[in-house]
Amino acid sequence: MTEIQELEKRIEKLEEEQDKEKSMSIIVTKGDLDEAYPALILGSTAASFGWEVNMFFTFYGLDIVNHKKHKKLTMSPLGNSSMNIPNILTIIPGMERATTWLMKRKMKTHGVATVEELIELSIESGVNMQACQMTMDLFGHDDEHLIEGVKSGVGAATALNQMSDTDMQLLI
């Protein structure tokens, strides 16, 4: 085989790989407002690119897909060094409510979609949103607690099998 033939085969292989549909798995373990945004933005954006996206919500991440809790997500300034608020001030009553309000206001000012809008967009875009069954059992949740379109009954083994077949895995 000549060098040109080898190069043509390599180019053909690279083109085939480029045309392959990409996939992503996101494990969502935290249910704070500032944890929900990265997971939902990355998942919905990847889906808009035509990627296959699986989001596995476990432990407090279930709050994001809980139909009663997802509208009330908060963010705590405690231990969040990026907020430039000394930890001693975080014990002031109402500080968590204030930082949540400030973040929501900043998001609105900059035209960032709400958590509710991102969830709706994700589901409409075909993101496979899954609730960890073990966590649902642990916290006493059932299917009625979940936002419509979120699949229940998914265990760690199923999630791991899906993750092993994806191009990208994220833990948020």
- Length of the chain as a residue count: 172
Q: Phi/psi class of residue 140: alpha, beta or left (left: φ > 0; alpha: ψ in -120 to 50)?
A: left
Express each pLDDT in 49-87 by its tens digit.
Answer: 999 999 999 999 999 999 999 899 988 877 676 777 776
Whether the CB-CB separation of 171 and 96 falls below 8 Å is answered with no
**Beta bridge partner(s), residue 26:** 55, 170
Whether the CB-CB separation of 30 and 63 falls below 8 Å is answered with no
Identify the CA nearest to 34 among candidates 103, 91, 98, 101.
Answer: 103
The sign one gets for the Cα dihedral 22, 119, 39, 55 is negative
Q: How far is CA 24 from the centre of its chain?
A: 11
Rg (CA), the chain: 20
pLDDT of residue 8: 78
Domains along the sequence of the chain with CATH = 23-75+113-171 (3.40.1260.10)
Express each pLDDT in 116-170 by its tens digit.
Answer: 999 999 999 999 999 999 999 999 999 999 999 999 989 999 999 989 989 889 8
